[in-house]
Amino acid sequence: MNQAFVATFLALSAGGIINSGYLFYQHHKKKSLICPLNHDCSVVTESKWNKTLFVRNEILGLLFFVFLFISMLYLILNQNLSSTLKIIILIATALGLLFSIFLVLLQKYVIKDYCFYCLISAIITLLIFLNSIYLFG
């Protein structure tokens, strides 16, 4: 595995953890989000679309990025099961990207407002997916 891409994958996953963790923390503490896009992020994060299968989207994002981070660490430390785990990571990142695209389209066409942190999450997911294709393709 290319060390630069592994480091990038870990850094992007950590960024996703921080981003999703921030959204979770702010919601849990009932604090308003500061949105640098001159939008009200809460219009998106508190909309009827803020949950998938009764789980808040930022929790799903947090679990997704933690899974990716731990999976990559596991691949680094134990390369015996690498082919199976690589396929799982590639499928997970593809599904994550599709879900992110769906959420961005919801923001644009249904909610008609944007959440800066949601867009950051979508960009991180796109970059992780592209990274996965290079690493595992």
Contact at 8 Å (CB) between 118 and 45? Answer: yes
CATH code of the domain covering residue 78: 1.20.1440.130
48 C-beta neighbours (distance < 10 Å), count: 7
* pLDDT, tens only, 82-116: 788 899 999 999 999 999 999 999 999 999 999 99
Q: Structurally, how many domains does the chain consist of?
A: 1
Give the Å distances, CA to CA, from 134 to 8, 18, 49.
12, 24, 32
Contact at 8 Å (CB) between 129 and 8? Answer: no
Is the pTM here over 0.85, yes or no? yes
Domain that holds residue 87: 3-136
Query: What is the distance between the alpha carbons of residues 94 and 136, in angstroms, rounded to a whole number?
Result: 12
What does DSSP assign to residue 32? P
Q: Which residue is listed with tokens 């001159």?
A: 38
* pLDDT, tens only, 46-86: 999 999 999 999 999 999 999 999 999 999 888 776 788 89
